Amino acid sequence: MVACKDNFNIPSLLIAQSALESGWGKSSLAWKYYNLLGRKYAKNNIITKKFVILKTKEYRNGVYITIYSAFCVYESIADCFKDCIWLLKNVKLKNGKLRYQRVLDSKDYIEATEMIRLCGYATSPTYTINLRKIIEQYKLNELDEKR
């Protein structure tokens, strides 16, 4: 996590996301493919060109549906976090603005956990609440304050 802390001002967000998205490291996506953040594959990915198709649930139109999606396959956990930082700092919308700028501009984990959902990282309506519970239970926000 050191690499992420050096490159991102709210490390508690990424740590909480990795716990939530990977089921605390128990998902096959995490332990088999080093993808702790549930990062979906895109052709513009600069860290990896490998992917695996897996079943996942998405929240759409008020209900959860099961779909198959391409997820990134990494060589290491460090690559997973580097890729997430790259995603946050580089992916642009059609209008040229950074998709995750509101996350990057967040002043604390409260704002960052709301912005990551609003910017479209996850579809779950409880994503923000679940991230905050993890951050608060394990006092991860103390990592943010030490920066």
* pLDDT, tens digit, 9 for 90 and up, residues 85-108: 999 999 999 999 999 999 999 999
Strand, coil or helix: 24 = coil
Question: Which of these ranges, 1-5, 18-22, 57-61, 74-78, has the smallest mean pLDDT?
Answer: 1-5
CA–CA distance, 123 with 64 (Å, rounded to integer): 9
Write phi, then psi, for 99 (nearest 5 degrees).
-60, -40
Q: What is the pTM of this model?
A: 0.90
The pLDDT of residue 8 is 73
As a whole number, mean pLDDT of residues 66-93 equals 96
Q: Is the pLDDT of residue 6 over 80?
A: no
Q: Give Rg (Cα) of the chain.
A: 15
Tell me which long-range contacts 20-23 makes (C-beta under 8 A, separation of at least 24): 20/127, 20/130, 20/131, 20/134
> What pLDDT does residue 146 have?
62
